[in-house]
């Protein structure tokens, strides 16, 4: 799941160098991000999932700044 070692440790699922703990940590981290960043956003469930994938790859701060930029350009920051 390409987790940073510190993130893997924070997920408390074991050695993320092994397959099952790595997948478990990745799934747990995805759930954390949905709850932390998108649970209360006015988005469809699909868009919450897609924004979470984007945050997993690019980082939640980067996604947040791109959403603000989209809004400044008159685009819907929630899709």
- Give tens-digit pLDDT for 19-72: 999 999 999 999 999 999 999 999 999 999 999 999 999 999 999 999 999 999
pLDDT at 66: 98
pLDDT at 2: 83
Residue of higher predicted confidence among 3 and 68: 68
- Domain boundaries, given as residue ranges, for the chain: 5-72
Handedness of CA 25, 27, 28, 33 (dihedral sign): positive
pLDDT at 5: 84
Give which of 38, 60, 59, 58 is closest to 49, Cα–Cα: 38
């Amino acid at each position: 799941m390409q987790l940073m070692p510190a993130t893997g440790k924070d997920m408390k699922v074991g050695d993320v160098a092994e397959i099952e703990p790595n997948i478990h940590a990745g799934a747990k981290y995805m759930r954390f991000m949905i709850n932390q960043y998108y649970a209360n956003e006015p988005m469809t469930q699909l868009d919450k999932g897609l924004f979470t994938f984007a945050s997993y790859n690019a980082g939640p701060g980067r996604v947040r700044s791109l959403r603000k930029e989209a809004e400044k350009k008159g685009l819907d920051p929630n899709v």
